[in-house]
Amino acid sequence: MSNIEWNEKTFSKFAYLADPRLRGDFVAYTLTKANLGDDRYESTVVVEDLGTGARSFVENAAMPRLSPDGRKLAFTRANEEKKTSEIWLADLRTMSAKKVLEAKNVRSIQWNEDSRKLLVVGFKRRDDEDFIFDDDIPVWFNDMGFLDGEKATFWILDSESEEIIEQFEEPRFSSGIWHGDAIVVNVPHRGGSKPALFKFYDVILWRDGEEERLFERVSFEAVDSNGKTILLRGKREKRFMSEHDWLYLWDGEIKSVYEGPLSAGQAKLDGGKVYFTLADAGRVNLYAWEGEVRPLIVGDHWVTDFDVHGGKVVVLIETATRLRELYIYDGELRQLTDYNGPIFERLRTFEPRHFRFKSLDLEIDGWYLRPGIEGNEKVPVIVFVHGGPKGMYGHYFKYEMQLMASRGYYVVFVNPRGSNGYTEDFALRVLERTGLEDFQDIMNGIEEFFKLEPNADRERVGITGISYGGYMTNWALTQSDLFKAGISENGISYWLTSHAFSDIGLWYDAEVIGPNPLENENYRKLSPLFYAEGVKAPLLLIHSLEDYRCPLDQSLMFYNVLRDTGKEAYIAIFRHGSHGHSIRGKPKHREKRYKLFVEFFERKLKRYEEGFDVEKILKENLGEV
């Protein structure tokens, strides 16, 4: 059996699982494959009967939702010709299906407990063909484009008659869930003189055309309900968006479920029990609460999604060397799928080696991948920096890390202060100090790594990251001579324009960098742009034109200033793709990005080549001119 090589196309061999759902003996999930030839993703809804072992497949489908009675499956299907979303209903016994609704924009669907009505949440915009108009902020949003006066739409769809029997609108970014026959709506609170979207909510109960305000200006939102009790995630009031989320139940009174040192992630109700994930020092584990919290599924992995019904849990579990597969927990954990097993059997993967180190006043977690090494050869190093700053590295599958380790690089990554998975104090220490102590944590982690691995070549160290990691890459090249090459993706170079231009800058940058941006010296002091003269290493900037989180101006400004001061800099601008284009861009887009990524480090850290001839790279490796 021949082995499979890691390269820019390997990602297309994998199957990607998402959105698991459980009711009775039925499990449904979405299975996605990248079709490089047609440059598209093909998604299939898979339904598994745990009782018989039978599998059913629904092509060109997503968002599977099993009815509470375990007899029906609702799903969405994109109509690419009309550019609309369709909602379909299938009988689980026969898998025959009918279309029950076609709408322009659908964001979520949820069954009512009667297994007949569906709550459909979507949105509408002005959609004038000549111009965009808004009187609210932000004007655009990542993955959503220009909002153009957007309103959230709520439809109650009778799946039998295929008619919308009730509908109403709420302000943009509102979400909702069933609560018995009523609907609980989370509306971002807009009171006060300064914007603070997603920091405060008004929680409203909608029933028969009437609204009752349950909570006003709170920092939690309703995420689930069993018809009597509502599950809330967040806090009563947050000072910072970067604070950890906790969990509460409300049945007329608020009851604490989890108020702890870690941040709660996904959370669901099953009867009187609450199931939820916690990020913990590079891991994401599943816990249950029934009067007290107990661990349920804990290990060196990430639980990326789950669903629960009748005490059974289905989970997607991913490790550093294996993509997510589906498992079921009913007292013991059993693996249900192995889509990627045969591929990984023929791929060499690299297990992270963990280390802890003292950095200034804190203990920090770090990891590294060790490539195959012969004798005392010196090996180049690539440092990865996660996004956020409240992101987290650890025991999950990172394609680029495995790719570069397979090419003979050490790969080093740490969780500096500001990362998720630790205490709230740890997370908040980066606020108004971004680029200071957190950067020292990264540098101290690299020095600790050098002590552990004498084969690591200090003269050939690269650095890369996306978003906050892109910012830190820009910053690192202005602050240190250690790095001999950098790839900055969708990063920040000037915090003032980020504050005014980003979709979340008006409130998020004001927290991370500081208030009063027109007067606060942090907006210049912590911006890599103003230290461009100090850059000595070649830098490749990669950005996507449709990124509204860290807009293109951030990389373009830095590129222009670097070139104007005689530095070696290159910029690759992808015409399409949002902030997450590195994993959600079209397949050929991703293939080209991976190729640029590999070839830049190969030429700068191994071959010591001058310049970066993109036309030659694409022609030689991808067959393009």
pLDDT digit string, tens, across residues 202-241: 999 999 999 999 999 999 999 999 999 999 999 999 999 9
Q: For residues 197 and 186, give the distance between their C-alpha atoms in angstroms, rounded to a whole number.
A: 12
Question: What pLDDT, on a 0 to 100 scale, did the predictor assign at position 374?
Answer: 83
Q: What is the mean pLDDT of residues 537-548?
A: 97
DSSP code for 388: T
pLDDT level of residue 622 (50, 70, 90 thresholds): low
Per-residue pLDDT tens digits for 577-607:
999 998 899 999 999 999 999 999 999 999 8
Secondary structure element (H or E) that encloses residue 253, with its range: none
Q: For residues 281 and 34, give the distance between their C-alpha atoms in angstroms, rounded to a whole number.
A: 31
Q: Is the pLDDT of residue 65 over 80?
A: yes
Question: What pLDDT, on a 0 to 100 scale, did the predictor assign at position 255?
Answer: 96
Q: Is the pLDDT of residue 452 over 70?
A: yes
Who contacts 493 (Cβ-Cβ below 8 Å, separation ≥6)?
A: 471, 474, 527, 528, 529, 554, 555, 557, 558
Who contacts 23 (Cβ-Cβ below 8 Å, separation ≥6)?
A: 66, 67, 68, 69, 70, 309
Q: For residues 54 and 116, give the distance between their C-alpha atoms in angstroms, rounded to a whole number.
A: 25
Cα dihedral across residues 600, 397, 357, 377: positive or negative: negative
**E strands present in 454-613:** 456-466, 485-489, 539-544, 569-574
Please give the span between the terminal C-alpha atoms of the chain, in angstroms, as a whole number.
34
Angle between helices 614-622 and 587-601 (to 10 degrees): 120
3-state SS assignment for residue 513: coil
| Comma-separated ranges of CATH 2.130.10.120 domains in the chain | 79-84+94-343
Q: For residues 318 and 29, give the distance between their C-alpha atoms in angstroms, rounded to a whole number.
A: 15
Q: What is the mean pLDDT of residues 167-186?
A: 97
How many residues in total does the chain contain? 625
Q: What is the mean pLDDT of residues 435-446?
A: 98
| Comma-separated ranges of CATH 3.40.50.1820 domains in the chain | 350-622
Classify domain 350-622 at the CATH topology level. Rossmann fold (3.40.50)
DSSP code for 453: -
Cβ neighbours of 30 (radius 10 Å): 21
3-state SS assignment for residue 618: helix
Q: Is the pLDDT of residue 443 over 90?
A: yes
Q: Is the pLDDT of residue 193 over 70?
A: no
The answer to whether 526 and 476 have CB atoms below 8 angstroms apart is no
Question: What pLDDT, on a 0 to 100 scale, did the predictor assign at position 195?
Answer: 67
Cα angle for residues 160, 164, 170 (degrees, 5° grid): 140
Per-residue pLDDT tens digits for 359-375:
999 999 999 999 988 88
Per-residue pLDDT tens digits for 499-539:
999 999 999 999 999 999 999 999 999 999 999 999 999 99
Question: What pLDDT, on a 0 to 100 scale, did the predictor assign at position 358?
Answer: 98
Residue 331 carries which side chain, given as an amino acid letter? G
Q: Which residue has the higher pLDDT, 612 or 619?
A: 612
Per-residue pLDDT tens digits for 490-504:
999 999 999 999 999
| Tokens 């090459």, located at residue | 485
pLDDT level of residue 3 (50, 70, 90 thresholds): confident
Residue 261, both tokens = 């040192």
Q: What is the mean pLDDT of residues 12-17?
A: 98
Q: What is the mean pLDDT of residues 40-60?
A: 96
Q: Is the pLDDT of residue 624 over 60?
A: no
Question: What pLDDT, on a 0 to 100 scale, did the predictor assign at position 196?
Answer: 72
The answer to whether 404 and 598 have CB atoms below 8 angstroms apart is yes
The answer to whether 528 and 557 have CB atoms below 8 angstroms apart is no
The answer to whether 58 and 43 have CB atoms below 8 angstroms apart is no
Question: What pLDDT, on a 0 to 100 scale, did the predictor assign at position 625?
Answer: 39
Q: Is the pLDDT of residue 90 over 80?
A: yes
Q: Tell me the backbone φ, ψ of residue 286, rounded to 5 degrees.
A: -105, 135
Q: For residues 108 and 186, give the distance between their C-alpha atoms in angstroms, rounded to a whole number.
A: 14
Per-residue pLDDT tens digits for 257-305:
999 999 999 999 998 899 999 999 999 999 999 999 999 999 999 999 9
CATH number 3.30.540.10 is the correct assignment for the domain at 79-84+94-343: no
Q: What is the mean pLDDT of residues 7-21?
A: 97
Cα angle for residues 226, 228, 232 (degrees, 5° grid): 70
Alpha-carbon Rg for the chain, nearest whole angstrom, is 25
The overall average pLDDT reported for the chain is 95
Question: What pLDDT, on a 0 to 100 scale, did the predictor assign at position 20?
Answer: 98
Angle between helices 399-406 and 587-601 (to 10 degrees): 40
